[in-house]
Amino acid sequence: MEYRTKQPENLSALQRFGRWLRLKQYQIEVTFGVYMFTPTEKFAFWSVVFLLYGLLMIATILYLPQHVLFIIHRAWFYVNGGDSSVASNVVAGNKDALSLAASYATTTMAAAATETAESMSREL
């Protein structure tokens, strides 16, 4: 049993992570009986697991920041009561910084497109 033998301590982080992933796969296969599936059934099982994990990660990345801000606003309200003007200013400042970064990226892309168009017109 590869998983129960003493592992050398001088492995790289990538190798240790790979061994940990194989251990988790082994534990899942033994726990849910996946080791008895046919290759097609295993493919379907791991596809569903990957799909659900991917959806969970996407939802976490998209919605967790908004949820954390909501919780911060509630905590601010419970501690200070009334309007959370300071917290609103902080959030508005973050939105302003985001819009400033987006406008900078847009102007940079527009400048690059203009430069490309000018160089193409010079070549013609």
| Per-residue pLDDT, 58 | 95
Q: Is 27 exposed, middle or buried (0-12, 13-18, 19+ CB in 10 A)?
A: exposed
Least confident of 18-22, 70-74, 91-95, 106-110: 91-95
| Per-residue pLDDT, 115 | 72
Query: Is the dihedral angle over the CA atoms 72, 76, 77, 83 positive or is it negative?
Result: negative
Percent of the chain with pLDDT over 70: 60
**Mind listing the pLDDT tens digit for each residue in 42-101?**
999 999 999 999 999 999 999 999 999 999 999 988 888 766 555 555 555 555 555 555
- The pTM (predicted TM-score) of the whole model is 0.49
Question: Which is more confidently placed, 80 or 7?
Answer: 80
| Per-residue pLDDT, 77 | 87
The upper half-sphere exposure of residue 33, i.e. CA atoms within 13 Å in the direction of its Cβ, equals 0
| Per-residue pLDDT, 118 | 73
Q: How long is the chain? A: 124
